[in-house]
Amino acid sequence: MRVLFLTHRLPYAPNRGDRVRAYHLLRILSTRADIDLVSLVHDEEEASHVGDLRALTSSVTALAVSRMRNLARSVLYLPTSRPTTHTLLDAPDLDATLASLAQKKPDVVLAYCSGMARCALTPVLRSIPMVLDMVDVDSAKWSAMATTHRGPRSWVYAREARVLRAFEAAAATHASTTLVVTDKERQTMTAIAPRARVEVVPNGVDIGRIRPPSAPTGAPIVVFCGVMDYAPNVEAVLWFTRTVWPLVTTARPDARFDIVGSKPVPAVRALHNMAGVTVVGGVSDVAPYLWRAAVSVAPLLTARGIQNKVLEAIGAGLPTVVTPVVAEGLPSLVLPACTVAATPEEFAAAVLKYLHATPAARRALALSVDLNALSWDRTVASVYEILGDAAGRGARLGANS
């Protein structure tokens, strides 16, 4: 089976949520299918990893996104029904690349997220069966963000939610199957596209990579991991440092808060001047920062789907404090290692509870959760059959036309 895999980021290195799932899909599918990968790349560092994926693919095409060009075009398209997501996730050579790869006659197109689904609906690919891995329902995320912001930004987010929802409905209805990561996302997607076939393929965790190699330390370190130019992560860290962290340090002046993640925006970088806060920035591997911490936090106020950061923290031996919207997307089997907290006072009390526990007790609580059922090899194993079913139905339709 030949698969044309379209991703909005190069799925390597698997060090951020949108790359992790795409990488493991590619890794697992590559053992049974011939894959032509087309990925947008956003900087030279990302583009430098193309060679790391050649062993998993028949071909890799990386297309550079022109950020300033796309931002300017986004403003021009605001009066139209074109999603800003599609304008920002674009490259000058994208259409020509798709036309060239269509000549290879792929059996099925796997479009990763709504940003790349539009490519599968272009004339050169539209007749080829598509499986859409929505992951999360992006329009619902934008709708939620519109309610937590004011002014022009709220209008832009509300517009994006509206126009992207219309596109998601059309794309999911066209797709042979649309994949999402939780049953809640499936319900949301089905409400948008009632005639679509929607299946749940949850996220996983790389247990072997993240499992702690040594005994826990006693350092009172609280850790947050996430890409720090992503608006929900920025919002989460600012809320935590402004409303929760002062309550924590009043009771535990020795506590430290590590913010680990690439591309911190100025508002996040400024937190480095706050007592006990370290803005670590981007790292090649978050695991060592998890292993040396006492507790992980996921204080997101806007969240969809499964937060990989929580699965990795628990796999690394850390109990985790989460907001209710994060908890809604977590598999039930990991909840015993989490405390759900909604208010600053509840969140601080939960963090302090874990800081006051012994290192051994914290580690035992987290590792009491059996994550083997959430290994990537298990969670996404069904995707090959889903692609094969789409390709088979497409072939039958072609034979009967």
pLDDT in tens for each of the 401 residues of the chain? 999 999 999 999 888 878 999 999 999 999 999 999 999 999 999 999 999 999 999 999 999 999 899 999 999 999 999 999 999 999 999 999 999 999 999 999 999 999 999 999 999 999 999 999 999 999 999 998 898 888 888 999 999 999 999 999 999 999 999 999 999 999 999 999 999 999 999 999 998 899 999 999 889 999 999 999 988 999 999 999 999 999 999 999 999 999 999 999 999 999 988 999 999 999 989 999 999 999 999 999 988 877 889 999 999 999 999 999 999 989 999 999 999 999 999 999 999 999 999 999 999 999 999 999 899 999 999 999 999 999 987 665 555 54
Contacts of residue 142, defined as CB under 8 A and 6 or more positions apart, other chains included, come to 157, 158, 160, 161, 164
Going along 142-255, which residue ranges are E strands? 177-180, 198-200, 221-225
pLDDT at position 334: 94
Topology agreement, domain 2-204+376-395 and domain 207-373: yes
- Beta-bridge mates of residue 319: none
**Per-residue pLDDT at 183:** 92
End-to-end CA distance of the chain: 21
- Model confidence, pTM: 0.89
Six token digits for residue 270 = 């400024």
CATH of domain 207-373: 3.40.50.2000
pLDDT, position 401: 46
pLDDT of residue 273: 85
Structure tokens at 334: 């990991």
- In CATH, which superfamily holds the domain spanning 2-204+376-395? Glycogen Phosphorylase B; (3.40.50.2000)
One-letter amino acid at 383 equals: V
Contact indicator for 324, 349 with CB cutoff of 8 Å: no
All structural domains of the chain with their residue ranges: 2-204+376-395, 207-373
Exposed/middle/buried for residue 44 (C-beta within 10 Å: 0-12, 13-18, 19+): exposed
| Alpha-carbon span 85 to 167, nearest angstrom | 11
Closest C-alpha among 261, 246, 269, 253 to residue 220:
253
Using an 8 Å Cβ cutoff, are 160 and 142 in contact?
Answer: yes
